[in-house]
Amino acid sequence: MSLRCSAWAWKQRALSPRAKLVLLALADHVNQKDRITCYPGIDSLIEETEIPERTLQRAISELEQRDLIAAFAVFTKRLGQRASRYVLNVDGLPADRWPSEALSWAQQAEPGARLVSRRDLTTEWLPPDHRQNQLPGFRKPRPPRRTGTPPVPQ
């Protein structure tokens, strides 16, 4: 936990309550090495904030739109999508410099991995074997419902 990031998160105004809660949770997970990046899992954020997954995703999107955080999907050749990395804009960088600065910070923390901004995340650049089940919110299609009567055992 970084006291600087927590204090910064508390000072942010005009956020929805869910976005502020998520920002505070992200600030609690900040890496002590560089003090602005973190990579908590969605499950741990859901457990800490006690909000549903879709609401959490909306809060992260709101924080990204306000340039308070940058979220990156981390891909490695061996494992596919491994994690999401979040970079907090604690220094208040302007919108024209923020995405590139955040990417450089995230790349320093994860050498050798491919980082893609979650804003730009599409399936076109993924290798064919990683296209399914790699995008946030993607769920496998359900098998078709069985209709009719079940067979009678003999």
Residue 88's nearest CA partner among 39, 146, 141 is 39
pLDDT in tens, 101-144: 777 766 666 666 666 666 555 444 444 444 444 444 445 555 66
- Distance (Å, rounded) from C-alpha 20 to C-alpha 8? 11
Lowest-pLDDT range, 21-25, 49-53, 70-74, 89-93?
70-74
- Distance (Å, rounded) from C-alpha 152 to C-alpha 69? 58
In the chain, pLDDT over 90 holds for what percent of residues?
Answer: 31
How many other β-carbons are positioned within 10 Å of the β-carbon of residue 125? Answer: 12
The continuous run of DSSP H or E covering 114 comes out as: strand 114-117
Q: Listing from the earlier edge strand, what are the strands of the sheet with 114-117?
A: 37-38, 80-88, 69-76, 114-117
> For residue 11, what pLDDT is reported?
95
pLDDT in tens, 23-50: 999 999 998 777 888 889 889 999 999 9
* Structural domains for the chain: 3-122 (1.10.10.10)
> For residue 106, what pLDDT is reported?
67
- Tell if the pTM clears 0.85, that is, is over it: no
